[in-house]
Amino acid sequence: MIIRDLQEGTFKDYCLDTCGKESVKRHFAEKDFRVYYNNSNVIPFNSMRKEWGIFSNFYPCPLIYDGVRFHSSEQMYYYYVTTQNRELQQLIMQQPTAYRVKKLHIPFEERDKGHDRVSVMRRCLQTKFEQCADFRNTLLSTKNKILLEYATWWDLYWGCYLKGNYYIGCNALGRLLMELRNNNIG
């Protein structure tokens, strides 16, 4: 469901006010926002929620792509969006956990030069689906549920923020997971 105006001003302005981060302006277009009613058809996940934490990119899951070994889809993602900076890629590969990769605080401008981040994330999730049976089985078990990354308060591109009874955000990660699931139900 897309809602254009929840209050005065545009929906984009409302979401910017909700998350309170100026840098988010570069990460989305208004048409990408979604609003999901918080009900039993929604599965919110993040690295802190044990039940559905397997959907998080922080979930420890050994992956191999193009002969490179990764400890998580988070590490793989950052490695492939920084291909123009070999030193940064090496630093990413030296990090022992996804949390440590994230703590590098790689600037948006550095990590996304010349990359379609959605295509890179789609490749990471497809690799995880192919190589991690627990992830694949758990994803397929969600059937037609809405998957969304529950962002604590600021990442309205990859996830959503809970505002009252509604999750608000682009939910790019959740949407990619649902796309992957739906393409593999057979």
Mean pLDDT (whole number) for 12-41: 68
Domain edges within the chain: 1-49+144-186, 62-131
Residue 2 has pLDDT above 60, yes or no: no
Residue of 154, 153, 149, 152 lying closest to 172 (CA atoms):
149
Which one-letter DSSP state was computed for residue 145? P
Which one-letter DSSP state was computed for residue 28? -
Q: How many residues does the chain have?
A: 186
User: For the ranges 22-36, 75-89, 139-153, 164-178, which has the lowest average pLDDT?
Assistant: 22-36
Give the bridge partners for 162, in sequence order: 167
Mean pLDDT (whole number) for 91-100: 96
Please answer whether residues 3 and 13 qualify as being in contact, where contact means their C-beta atoms are separated by less than 8 angstroms: no
User: Which is more confidently placed, 163 or 183?
Assistant: 183
Token pair of 177 as six digits: 């997971």
- pLDDT tens digits for 77-95? 999 998 888 999 999 999 9
Say whether 31 sits in a helix, a strand or coil.
Answer: helix
Mean pLDDT (whole number) for 98-115: 78
pLDDT at 112: 61
pLDDT at 165: 86
CA angle 98, 31, 110 (to 5 degrees): 40
Segments in the chain forming alpha helices (H): 11-19, 73-80, 86-94, 98-102, 108-111, 117-131, 133-141, 172-183
pLDDT at 35: 86
pLDDT at 3: 47
Q: Which residue has the tokens 């689906």?
A: 129
Tell me the pTM: 0.87
